[in-house]
């Protein structure tokens, strides 16, 4: 349902595999990997004002609070962005309410089930067997969550505003085989900034624009895989955000 079947044929998988093996870092860009109409449903949920919380990381600690963040020198700050708060089955939860706003009166009976939240469904798909089997085929390694304590925290939506940033860092971790970035920015223009940049090879960084339904898969342990995000243009992004899914995967 979520995948574009034309993009996951055997010849396509071979092409992705070749791209991985002949690039620095080992990465592949796949446009239109997912069903566009389904991703547009996800995008509508993410553009709602509710459900986002600011996140700060420093080079010495993740998820720091505001007090510690203010005491951290600018050079030691590497992430400021918003993270999406997953929906919970609570009648008072604003995201849950938004997903049921169009139910008929009959559907509001005690026995009725709320409408599915497409953004939540997609996160579940990205940690499901079908998608992880696809990653296993592309990277020729068995991807699994069997030994991951909290797999759900390793897949989520993020957004960057004009004042936010993701500075240079590495995503390598023992057993981590694949990092995935998927962009959800409709009508993104080149002058808006926001490119993913890999350090690459021989002082030749790799720049990748965050266009809608563009998926980047890379091996975080490969040479040149340190990366950052080019700042958004303040002139063109005063009221705009750069949206993406980030997901990390481990082997057995």
What is the DSSP annotation of the chain? --B-GGGSSHHHHHHHHHHHHTSSSSEEEEET-B-HHHHHHHHHHHTSSTTEEEEEEESS-SS--HHHHHHS-GGGEEEEEEEEPPP-S-TT-HHHHHHTTT--TGGGSTTPPPPP-HHHHHHHHHTSHHHHHHHHHHHTS-B--TT-S-GGGGEEEEEE-TT-EEEEE----TTEEEEEEEE--TT--GGGB--EEEEEETTEEEEE---TTEEEEE-TTSTT--EEEPPBPTTT-TT--EEEEEEEEEB-
- The answer to whether residues 68 and 77 touch, using CB atoms and an 8 Å cutoff, is no
Instruction: List the chain pLDDT tens, one digit each, 252 residues.
Output: 999 999 999 999 999 999 999 999 999 999 999 999 999 999 999 999 889 999 999 999 999 999 999 999 999 999 999 999 986 544 344 433 343 333 333 334 344 444 579 999 999 999 999 999 999 999 999 999 999 999 999 999 999 998 999 999 999 998 999 999 999 999 998 889 999 999 999 989 999 999 999 999 999 999 999 999 999 987 655 568 999 999 999 998
Tokens representing 252 are 């057995």
Asked whether the beta carbons of 181 and 196 are under 8 A apart, the reply is: yes
Residue pointed to by tokens 């509001």 = 108
Distance CA 29, CA 214 (A): 7
List, in order of start, the domains of the chain with CATH numbers. 5-54+77-84+113-250 (2.60.120.620)
Tokens of 52: 């986002």
pTM of the predicted model as reported, rounded to 2 decimal places: 0.88
Comparing CA positions, the residue from 241, 249, 223 lying closest to residue 127 is 249
In this prediction, residue 116 carries a pLDDT of 75
Residue 240, CA atoms < 13 Å, CB-side half-sphere: 18
Give the Å distances, CA to CA, from 97 to 34, 91, 92, 149: 27, 7, 7, 29
* Vertex 29: Cα angle to 17 and 152 (nearest 5): 90
């Amino acid at each position: 349902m979520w995948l574009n079947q034309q993009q996951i044929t055997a010849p396509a998988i071979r092409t992705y595999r070749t791209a991985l093996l002949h690039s620095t870092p080992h990465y592949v860009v796949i446009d239109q990997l997912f069903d566009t109409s389904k991703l547009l449903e996800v995008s509508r949920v993410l553009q709602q004002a509710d459900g986002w919380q600011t996140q700060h990381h420093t080079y010495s600690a993740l998820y720091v609070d505001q007090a510690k963040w203010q005491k951290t020198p600018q050079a030691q700050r590497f992430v400021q962005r918003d993270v999406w708060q997953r929906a919970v089955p609570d009648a008072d939860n604003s995201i849950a309410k938004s997903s049921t706003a169009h139910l008929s009166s009959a559907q509001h009976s005690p026995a009725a089930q709320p409408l599915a939240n497409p953004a939540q469904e997609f996160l579940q798909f990205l940690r499901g067997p079908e998608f992880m089997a696809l990653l296993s085929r592309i990277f020729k390694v068995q991807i699994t969550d069997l030994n991951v304590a909290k797999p759900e925290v390793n897949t989520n939506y993020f957004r960057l505003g004009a004042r936010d940033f993701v500075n240079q860092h590495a995503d390598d971790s023992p057993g981590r085989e694949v990092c995935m970035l998927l962009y959800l920015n409709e009508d993104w223009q080149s002058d808006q900034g926001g490119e993913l940049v890999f350090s690459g090879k021989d002082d030749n960084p790799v720049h990748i624009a965050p266009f809608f339904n563009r998926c980047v898969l890379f091996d975080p342990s490969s040479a040149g895989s340190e990366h950052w995000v080019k700042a958004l243009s303040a002139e063109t992004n005063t009221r705009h955000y750069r949206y993406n899914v980030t997901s990390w995967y481990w082997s057995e």
